[in-house]
């Protein structure tokens, strides 16, 4: 049997030793991620504006509005000095949802200038004192501006944790699992990375292989093919798919140190036949894909090709 030190051996929770899981996600995120301008700043005002705007608007649509807003009111002081009707008018003209958020953002800017002398609170508790800033937004600003937040738990993160580690659909369970996973002192990169995972690889209809999800090796949904989640009540089409077969390869190789192709094949498809349609050539194609993703290795011995998980 393989070393299962990184397996999910605590029911409804994260791996007992999450270091490999953490490293894989951060490396995946840092290698390539969607580019948004607010990810290139640590200015708490700019980040707060992006967080408030994105509450009901797709991120790609937020970019232009965010840039226009900052062109007009580049600092908290400039926003605080603005006429509230102008801020609300901007919100409406850019179709950013409820106008109350524009009012709250304007008032929060006033608090920063009048109550905090222009100095931003640096932790979630302090940021929560600002008008219209709830726990999630306060934590996001603390994380992305000051690298001083807790683990962010939004709908995307819940979906990831539910699928990957069988975390129960319970807010306290999600928070505990997210906290256990986040490396200490790295809230900025971690929260960006785990939200990116939910937004790119683990959407309602997952793209595990296309997005090269870094958690496939540990993911319960990838192994079982059950991609339901709290916000995905019906399972996306999966039965018989290539993604399902790749998940079965990973599942089988987690049970054994290594397997020759002709012993691995029947564990992936019951109709595996070495020279058939679903035979060695077909299986080798799956393994080559997984090898390209850094998940498996195929070694040539004197007698056969042998597949193993890449550690």
Task: Count CA within 13 A, CB hemisphere, residue 284.
Answer: 13
Is the C-alpha dihedral spanning 170, 173, 179, 181 positive or negative? negative
For 305, counting Cβ atoms within 10 Å of its Cβ (0-12 exposed, 13-18 middle, 19+ buried), the class is middle
**DSSP string covering the chain, please?**
----TTS--STTS--SSTHHHHHHHHHHHHHS----GGGG---HHHHHHHHHHTTSS-HHHHHHHHHHHHHHS-SHHHHHHS-HHHHHHHHHHTT-S-THHHHHHHHHHHHHHHTSTTPPP-SHHHHTTSTT--HHHHHHHHHHHHS-------HHHHHHHHHHH---S-HHHHHHHHHHHSPTT-HHHHHHHHHHHHHHTSSSS--TTTTT-TTTTT-HHHHH----BTTB-SPPS-TT-HHHHHHHHHHHHHHSS-EEHHHHHHHH-TT--TTSTTSHHHHHHHHHHHHHTTSEEEEE-SS-EEEEE--
Tokens of 52: 């408030």
Closest CA to 193 of 41, 62, 21: 21
Q: Catalytic residues, which ones?
A: 51
Q: What are the φ and ψ backbone dihedral angles of 308, each rounded to 5 degrees? A: -150, 160
């Amino acid at each position: 049997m393989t070393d299962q030190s990184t397996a999910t051996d605590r029911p409804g929770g994260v791996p007992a030793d999450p270091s490999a899981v953490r490293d894989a996600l951060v490396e995946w995120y840092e290698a390539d991620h969607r580019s948004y301008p607010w990810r290139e700043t640590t200015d708490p005002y700019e980040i707060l504006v992006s967080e408030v705007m994105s509450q009901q608007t797709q991120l790609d649509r937020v970019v232009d509005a965010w840039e226009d807003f900052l062109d007009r009111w580049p600092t908290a002081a400039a926003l605080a000095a603005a006429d509230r009707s102008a801020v609300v008018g901007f919100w409406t003209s850019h179709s950013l949802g409820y106008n109350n958020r524009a009012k709250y953002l304007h008032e929060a800017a006033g608090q920063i200038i009048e109550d905090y002398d222009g100095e931003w609170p640096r932790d979630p508790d302090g940021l929560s004192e600002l008008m219209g800033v709830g726990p999630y937004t306060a934590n996001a600003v603390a994380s992305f501006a000051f690298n001083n937040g807790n683990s962010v738990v939004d709908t995307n993160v819940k979906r990831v944790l539910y699928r990957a580690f069988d975390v129960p659909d319970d807010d306290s369970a999600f928070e505990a699992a997210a906290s256990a996973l986040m490396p200490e002192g790295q809230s900025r990169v971690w929260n960006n990375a785990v939200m990116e995972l939910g937004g790119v690889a683990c959407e309602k209809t997952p793209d595990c292989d296309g997005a090269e999800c870094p958690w496939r090796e540990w993911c319960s949904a990838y192994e079982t093919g059950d991609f339901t989640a709290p916000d995905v009540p019906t399972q996306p089409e999966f039965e018989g798919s290539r993604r399902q077969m790749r998940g079965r390869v990973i599942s089988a190789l987690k049970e054994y140190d290594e397997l020759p192709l002709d012993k691995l094949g029947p564990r992936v498809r019951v109709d595996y036949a070495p020279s058939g349609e679903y035979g060695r050539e077909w299986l080798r194609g799956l393994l080559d894909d997984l090898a390209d993703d850094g998940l498996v290795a195929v070694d040539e011995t004197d007698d056969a090709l042998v597949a193993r998980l890449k550690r």
